[in-house]
Structure formats: structure tokens, C-alpha cells
Structure 1
Amino acid sequence: MVTSVDTEVMKALADPLRMQILRLLAVESLCVCHLVEETGAKQTNLSNHLRLLRQTGLVETESCGRFLYYKLKPAAVAALAEDLAALADQARATHDADTKRPCP
């Protein structure tokens, strides 16, 4: 049984701006000033979203001079994809078997 899908990660992915950030970071490492330019969001708002993405382990940082660059952690996204794929496989097997728990 699959129980390892991290609910905090799922909550993080539920926000459209955070998903936009992740899509941008999948292409290249960016600093907050680039993300402001790309998303049109305010710097403080982006910083809060990036903090949450770092806390959930989806994003990591790298210092470059006085700038902090953010990049997507592919292993974290791959682990989430594997968890969700396993959940889908389990549901598919249950659906095909038409498994039902009997009522008392």
C-alpha cells in the first residue's frame, strides 16, 4: 500500500504561482529578481513561496556572488512522481479486480 505521498509537498504544489516557479526552475536556475520579472509577482511574495518550496525539499539554493539562485531538485520531483505512479498502479489493480469491502 502506498502511504508515502507527502501531504506538505502536495499542498506546496497546489498553488499556481508555486507551480509556475517550479516550471521556470526546471529550465534554469534563477534568482528572485528573475522570478519577479518572469511571474510579475512581488519580491516578498516570491520569497515566501520559495521558502516553502525549500522547506518541502523541492528547491535548493546556490550562492553566486551576492545573489542566491534557486534550482529545482529533480530527485524530489522524481520521488513524488514515483509515489503517485505507485498509487495509480494500486488503484488500477483494485479497479480491475472490482474489490469491495463487504458491509456489516
Structure 2
Amino acid sequence: MNKSYEVNAKIFKALSDPSRLKILDMLSCGEKCACELLEYFDFTQPTLSHHMKVLMECGLVKSRKEGLWSYYCLDNSNSNRLVLFLMNILTDTDDCICKKKNKSNCEG
């Protein structure tokens, strides 16, 4: 399994901001307009746009335009991949990096 550490590190960096975590929590309830998201924060629309750009660049959020408004939703396939990645690195599995290394050191 390709664990893509670099890609996931970028996602975890995006998740290190409390406002972004709150945005993801809000989007877990379904698609939201930028104006709806802004109601829960004390920052400006440009700041929200920055947060959304970070979340979209790492693949956790998708957007669509409707008229003047932007609507955001979770990208469930990428979110699920992130959960699986985290479970895999925190669980003792057959493809654990340490087991692969130990097999090559101990065999033969």
C-alpha cells in the first residue's frame, strides 16, 4: 500500500487550524454556502476564502459556483482515504513499515 506520507502530511497541516476543523465539522452536515459558513465565524469573507482554498487544495473539500455564491461540501472519497491512512499507520498491520524492515533484517 502506498501510504503517500507527503500528501497526507499536507492534509494534516491543513487540519491543524481550529477554524478549518470547525468548517469540516459544519460540512459533515451537508453542503453549505459560503454565506452560511461565515455566520459562525468572526472573520471576513477573504479569510474564509483562504481557508476554503487550503481545504480544497488538499482534497478534503469540493466547491461549486451558483450565481455569485460558492457552495462547499466534503469530498467523501478523499476524506475516507485519510481515515484509512490514519487507521493504517496507527494499527499493527501486515504491511507495517517496521515489519517489512524486520523481515529483511531477520531472514536469511
TM-score (norm 1): 0.79
Determine which of 45, 60, 65 is the counterpart of 1:58: 60
Q: Unpaired segments of 5 or more residues in structure 1? A: 94-98, 100-104
Aligned 1:2-17 pairs, distance under 5 A: 3-5=3-5, 6-17=8-19
Q: Unpaired segments of 5 or more residues in structure 2? A: 97-101, 103-108
- Secondary structure at the residue paired with 1:60? strand
How far residue 72 of structure 1 moved from its aligned partner, in angstroms, is 0.7
1:32-69 deviation per Cα after TM superposition (whole angstroms, max 9, x unaligned): 21111022322111110001111111111112222110
Which structure exhibits the higher relative contact order, with contacts defined as CA atoms closer than 8 Å and separated by 6 or more residues? 1
C-alpha RMSD of the superposition: 2.3
Determine which of 50, 70, 76 is the counterpart of 2:78: 76
Structure 1: 4+ residue segments shifted above 4 A: none
CA distance in 2, matches of 1:4, 1:85: 14
- Secondary structure at the residue paired with 1:89? coil
